[in-house]
Structure 1
Amino acid sequence: MLVKLQWLGLGNNNLRGSIPLEIGNMTELQIIYLHNNYLEGQLPGTISHLVKLQDLYVNGNQLGGQIFPDLGNSTFLRWVHIAYNNFSGMFPSSICIGRALTTVSAGYNGFTGIHHQTFQNCTTLQSVDFTANNIVAELRDCFSEHPRQLTTIAFSQNQLYGKLLTNGGEDFLCNRTNLFFVDLSNNALHGDLSKCLWDLQNLRFMDLSSNSFSGVVPFSRTCQANLKCLLLANNHFRGTFPLGLKKCINLITLDLGGNNFSGRIPSWLSMSLPDLNFLRLSSNMFDGIIPHKILQFRQLQVLDLSKNKLTGPIPNDFRNFTGMSQEQKNRDLIYSNQYIQVEIHIVWKNVDHVYNLKIAAVVGIDLSGNSLTLEIPNGLTTLSRLRYLNLSGNHLSGCIPEDIGNMVLLESLDLSRNQLSGKIPPSLAALESISVLNFSSNGLSGRIPTGSQLQTLVDPSIYSNNPGLCGFPLKDCVNLSTSTQTETSLDEDREALLLYCFVAAGFIFGFWLYWGIFLFRCESWRYSFYQYVDNMQGKVTKKVYSCISRFQVKGPEL
């Protein structure tokens, strides 16, 4: 046994099996790197014998069960990385007994609780990540008044409850002025927000989405320049667009979707927030027109105004939307360490999609579920970097732009439930990346374009409720030119037959009339002869009309 070993570095290998109990005999160990392997079983309790341990990295394995309570016996323990395992039960209360702990990364496990004294004496603690566990607790019980020096708090996807703002006006977050990254999304927190949030000088990322926060987003005359990302989606906020955001001039990502905001979308957005990369205002009650000045964004790559009460036309001048028409350099959207997943949700290909802010941006526009009118602007077709476009559920009319094929990267296009008319442009066949398409419930007509990628879209429902459409995957089109020529030819044949019949009848009548004068000199005979000729003419005429009628009935069937 290597009893004098101080550094054990076996991370990023394919190690399997369990961590041996004998590791506790290596009493000089200071660093343990066993991350990203296939280790299973429990974390051995003998690790508590390692009184000189500083860094413990066992994240990214298959370890499980409860952690031995005396894990933090070392007075030197600084970094504990145990994320992405199957640990359960209460998080060990003695983790910070040495008062040297700075970082705890325990996300994506099954911890059910944190003792209220666990971090009581952690005056050095800076980063805590318990993302995606099953912790049921009041947020304030997870921390005492200390540590105020926290920079990162990540408790997304748990079952935290309580308020940020106490009845006495004290705010849980605002007391921690060093905060850099806050993610409390997907919990059961409620109550109002305090305007002191805008005064946190170091705050760069804040996600409070998918809770039960309510009230009006507080107004403040200041907003610190470091704030890059603000996510308040899926709560119960009300009122007009938060005026305080006008001061957050360095925002890159803003998500206010799924609330009860109302009133107009302010025209100052593109001027006051010029660096916005992601803007989501969907599922609110915003009304009025889409302001033309919103098209002044140069960095914007995702615009989601869906499911509101917007009216009027879609603005047409997209020349400044270079974020959607030109390839962009990767921007620094990493808000904290590599183990924290920064995610927001968009509707991508008609399903909810988790959008990772650390990965290359998805470029798209969603204006569906409003009351927008007039034609689809041709300017949209200049946005060649678009990967999805959703204009469904509006009152758009006119034709689909002829140059829609210019959006060569388009993967999802939904124009359903409008009043569009005319033909589907042939340029649609140029969309070689298209995998989701919906033109249903419009007034489109003519032949559906064909193309290599379009032939893979075999579901006829994507063209349904367009009575004039034909072609794959609907029924074949009738050749209208051939049908017209056939009908013209039949009409000419009918006219010729009618002429021939009347000529024949006239000839027969004239022949008998002429010879009857010479053959029948007796007046009574001649009168009888003429009467006979008249009867014969009537019968011949009836036969002619009968023949023509039968020809007209059978003619279209030929």
Structure 2
Amino acid sequence: MQGPLSSKDMTNFRSLEILDMSGNMFTGILFPYIGTLSSLKAISLSQNKLHGNLHAKDLGMLKKLEELDLSDNQFEWILPPCLSRLTSLRLLDLSKNQFSGNLSSSMIANLTSLEYIDLSYNRFGGLFSFSSFANHSKLKVIRFKGENNTFEIETENPSWEPSFQLKVLVLPNCDLNKLSSNIPKFLFYQQELELVDISHNRLKGSFPVWLIENNTRLQLLNLRDNYFRGQFHLPIAHCNNLSWLDFSHNNFNGQLQENIGKMIPNLQYLNISQNHFEGFLPSSIGDMSNLEKLDLSNNKFSGEVPMKLLANCTSLVVLKLSYNKFHGGIFSEGFRFFNNSLRILELKNNQFTGTLPTMVPTAGSHLGLLDISNNGFSGLIPRWLVGNLRYLWSLDMSHNFFEGPIPCEITEMHAYIFKDLSHNLLSGWSPSCVHLHIIRHLFLQGNKLTGSLPKLSFNFAFHLVTLDIRDNKFSGRIPNEVGVLSNLRILLLSGNNFSGMIPNKLCWLKNIAIMDLSRNKFSGTIPHCFHNLTFEKIDAFDGLTEPNSTFLEVRDIIVPYQSILKRNFENFEVEREVATEIGIEFVTKYRSYFYKGGILDLMSGLDLSVNKLTGGIPPELGQLSPILALNLSYNQLTGSIPNTFSKLTRLESLDLSHNNLSGEIPSTLIDLNFLEVFSVAYNNLSRKVPDMKRQFGTFENSSYEGNPFLCGPPLEKSCTRVDKSPPSPIKSSNASHRKWYDVDPLVFSTTFIVSYVIFFIGVACILYINPYWRQRCFNLIENRMYWCYNFAFYKLERLSNCICH
């Protein structure tokens, strides 16, 4: 049913005792004149779309009302004090609404018949004192799940002793005992507790072992995200009913008790992640044969994983051992992680070694997430890894030592969403069997893959969002078929040997946000059509943050409660598995940054650096107004810097260094108010640099160095030289008639003498060093002397003969 609630003919139901209209689509406000139904004992309008404030004046007339359930609606405003008239009320559930204001302690104090109260997920503020429940001897269930940081609950001031024995206490994220940060002392008096959740409250102290000892029927204990410290010790007995235990995100240390598995044999959920536990993992943990989730991640455990755990815990749905110091070959024959129940297996950041098992898992395996990254695994990737795991949607094998070819089956699996094989020793990429199908995120960075990109692979990659093949040995041209990747948002091809011109088909990637073609051998000009690329903000819904793998989103904790509406607590919520967040590295602002999750959603950039690109910078690039990073450095670009770059209003990093650009730096660039990094170093730019205003006031000399014709601050070279020396005397008009060859006689004489001396010394040194040349020189001089003597003697003799005759 749907539509507004109608008050028509409600007066005809004066004898009505139970009104249950839950789970419909009713809208509007709570119908008036409900007070005329004086015989009502129970009202349930939960899971509708009712809004507005409560007509408490009418509700206050229902003196016989025992149960009021208005949960999961859109009621707002404050709780009216008139609710305190409902003195017969046993159940009050106003959870999942928008009530605000301070929670009246006096109103709660008057409802002494209460057995069940749930005010979770509202917008209450201020301070609420738990002493308001001092006289509630029938109270069994208290649920105050906080949704903001303005609602505080104080249990210690003033001092009081409870008259009730609770079954359920749920007080997460409500600034519990903010002043003292102590566990509520009234819990010392409780002996019938079955469910306790005081997580996310910054409580201090040691592990409350007394809470388990005093409450032998305790099934669930949640101490997550507090400041508890010291060693963790369970009582020797009294733990047989405990099935759900979470004390993750605290400061516990030391080793786990050797017989922990025997103390809590019926445990189904154990989360002790984000602590400081160390040492070996006790083998008795394998005695918890009913375990469905085991999370030991982010501790300091070492040694090998007990085979008893791997062999006996066949009901595991989630197994997380990441970020420890486990070593050894975990994938042994005793490891039955391919059973029908396991859905999540995380082993990343350990010291595991060995090869993946050769056994073929059963076709009934439901494994959805496999993460073995950052370990020491080696060998070939077995073909069955994907062929038999039909539900595997996330695979991370990065940062290992896998080698050989990528199996055909690993690319043909239809269930894949995320696959990371980066930083291994993989060498094969077969064009004949590469079909990406519905893979959305593919990471192959840092391998030894060679050859050209197979054209066939892109014809089936309509769903591809992220393609990272950086730092391999790919060569050849980028195939035009890449243009069919209409959903591609991140394209990372840097650090390869791609050559040829950048294909215009890349301009078809309308949804691209980050493109990195740097450190290749691309030549030719920058495509003018790049202005068609949007570089818009990435919408996380499009696939950069994937949905989590299905796990137990509710926990079946049966806590009986006698209710007219048959209330129970089988739907106790537990924390959901963290969604897979895609992360990439991208160089900007001279550094390599890692962008992940929501930060990645906001990032956009184009990197064409370290190539052989020529020609001018297309002015059309100025139309990429959403872009945050643009890097064209280390190319052979010529021409001027386009004035249109002043339209890149969101730009944070612009690097045009190490090119052959000329002309003037556009002064309009000072309008780029978000620019943090700017470099035009080592070009042929000239004239004055932009004024040191706004962001340009932060750029130093290094942003402009290597341009000898640039001037102005922050450079030392001034654009105008003012001669402050006295005027020179007027020279004679004859000076204008001096010839270019007129030389100062003193300068000429000095230069000539020095040159002659240097020549003479040089010849003397050569003759002194080389005896052969010295002998030849002396012979030459002697011959010349004899020739001159004979010549003179002959001439004189002829002259005397002529005179005599």
The TM-score normalised by the length of structure 2 is 0.56
After superposition, residues 195-206 of structure 1 pair within 5 angstroms as: 195-206=408-419
Are the counterparts in 2 of residues 402 and 427 from structure 1 also a CA contact under 8 Å? yes
Q: Distance in 2 between matches of 1:264 and 1:414?
A: 25
Residue 420 (str. 1) matches residue 420 (str. 2): no
Give the Cα separation in 2 of the matches to 1:547 and 1:397. 43
Q: Which has the higher contact order (CA 8 A, sep 6+)?
A: 1
Aligned counterpart for 2:241 among listed residues 52, 58, 66: 52
Residue 279 of structure 1 is matched in structure 2 by 491
SS, match of residue 39 in structure 1: strand
**Superposed displacement of residue 404, structure 1:** 0.8
Question: Between Structure 1 and Structure 2, how many residues are aligned?
Answer: 491
Tell me which residue corresponds to 2:78.
Answer: none
CA contact (8 A) 1:217 1:237 kept: no
* CA distance in 1: counterparts of 2:590 and 2:654, whole angstroms: 10
369-378 or 82-91, which deviates more: 82-91
Cα RMSD (Å): 3.2
1:36–1:264 CA distance, 2 compared to 1 (3 A) = same
| Deviation of the 1:39 alpha carbon | 2.1
Which amino acid in structure 2 is aligned with residue 398 of structure 1?
Answer: G
The equivalent residue for 1:524 is none
Q: 1:214 aligns with which of 422, 427, 431?
A: 427
Q: Which position in structure 1 is the counterpart of 2:591?
A: 351
Is the aligned partner of 1:247 residue 2:460? yes
Is 1:316 aligned to residue 316 of structure 2? no
Please report how far the alpha carbon of residue 261 of structure 1 lies from its aligned counterpart in structure 2 after TM superposition: 2.0
Q: Are residue 367 (structure 1) and residue 578 (structure 2) matched?
A: no
CA distance in 1 between counterparts of 2:240 and 2:539 reads 47
513, 516, 522: which one aligns with 1:301: 513
The runs of 5 or more residues in structure 2 that have no matched partner are 1-187, 359-379, 549-576, 739-805
**How far, CA to CA, are the matches of 2:461 and 2:257 in structure 1?**
46
Q: Secondary structure at the match of 2:592?
A: strand
Shift of 1:407: 1.0
Which amino acid in structure 1 is aligned with residue 294 of structure 2? V
Q: What does the per-residue CA deviation read over 1:443-469, in whole Å, with 9 as the maximum and x for residues that have no partner?
A: 111111125433442431121111111
Tell me if the contact between 2:383 and 2:410 (Cα under 8 Å) persists in the aligned partners: no
Partner of 2:346: 154
- The aligned counterpart of 2:37 is none
Q: What's the CA shift for 1:222? A: 4.5
One-letter code of the match for 1:239? G
Q: Secondary structure at the residue paired with 2:415?
A: coil
Task: After TM superposition, give the deviation of residue 117 of structure 1 in Å.
Answer: 4.2
Between 278-287 and 129-138, the greater mean CA deviation after superposition: 129-138
| Deviation of 1:70 (Å) | 4.2
In 1, the alpha carbon distance for the partners of 2:733 and 2:465 equals 85
Q: 1:72 deviation in Å?
A: 4.3
Give the AA of the match of 2:274: Y
1:33 aligns with 2:222: yes
Q: Counterpart of 1:118 in 2: which secondary structure?
A: helix
Shift of 1:71: 4.1
Q: Quick one: distance in 1 between partners of 2:422 and 2:499? A: 23
> Partner of 1:109 in structure 2?
299
Equivalent residue for 1:512?
A: none
Q: Does 1:187 align with 2:400?
A: yes
For residues 25-70 of structure 1, the C-alpha deviation after alignment (integer angstroms, 9 at most, x for no partner) is: 2432222222222222233244985333333332322223333344
Structure 1, 145-154 or 261-270: larger mean CA deviation: 145-154
Q: 1:105 to 1:208 in 2, by over 3 A?
A: farther
Q: Secondary structure at the match of 1:444?
A: strand
| Residue matched to 1:379 | 620
- Residue type of the partner of 2:700? D
Give 1:136's aligned residue.
327
Q: How does 1:9-24 map to 2 (within 5 A)?
A: 9-24=197-212
Whole-Å Cα distance in 2 between the matches of residues 478 and 349 of structure 1? Answer: 29
Classify 1:251/1:231 alpha carbon distance in 2 versus 1 (closer, same or farther; 3 Å): same
Structure-2 residue corresponding to 1:6: 194
Identify the residue that residue 278 of structure 2 maps to in structure 1: 88
2:314 to 86, 98, 123: 123
Distance in 1, Cα, partners of 2:431 & 2:347? 23
**Residue of structure 2 equivalent to 1:401:** 642
Q: Displacement of 1:373 after TM fit?
A: 1.4
- 1:188-221 superposed Cα distances (whole Å, 9 cap, x missing partner): 4444332222243333222222233333267536
Q: 1:332-347 residue pairs with structure 2 within 5 A?
A: 332-335=543-546, 336=548, 337-338=577-578, 342-347=582-587
For the 8 Å contact 1:161–1:190, the answer to whether it is kept is no
Alignment partner, residue 500 of structure 2: 288
Which sections of structure 1, spanning at least 5 residues, go unmatched? Answer: 499-542, 550-558
Decide which moves more: 179-188 or 169-178: 169-178
Partner residue of 2:364? none
Q: Out of 458, 463, 481, which is 2:704 matched to?
A: 463
Distance 1:366 1:96, change over 3 A: farther
Q: Give the residue type in structure 2 aligned to 1:351.
A: R
Query: Amino acid of the residue matched to residue 505 of structure 2?
Result: K
Displacement of 1:429 in angstroms is 0.5
Matched letter for residue 544 of structure 2: L
Q: Does the residue aligned with 2:528 lie in a helix, a strand or coil? A: coil
Q: Deviations over 1:136-193 (max 9, x none)?
A: 3346249724334443333333334444585795544544332222223333444433
Q: Which residue of 1 aligns with 2:478?
A: 265
- 1: CA distance, partners of 2:321 / 2:620: 46
User: Distance between the aligned counterparts of 2:281 and 2:442, measured in 1?
Assistant: 30
Residue aligning to 2:750? none
Q: Take 1:239 and 1:98, find their aligned partners in 2: how far apart are those partners?
A: 51
**1:68 paired to 2:248:** no
Distance 1:229 1:111 in 2: 32
Q: Which residue of 2 aligns with 1:42?
A: 231
What's the counterpart of residue 526 of structure 1? none
Deviation track 1:333-389 (CA, whole Å, cap 9, x = no partner) reads 323332765432221322121110354231011111111111112222111111111
State the AA in 2 paired with 1:334.
T
Identity %: 31
Counterpart selection for 1:392 from 612, 633, 646: 633
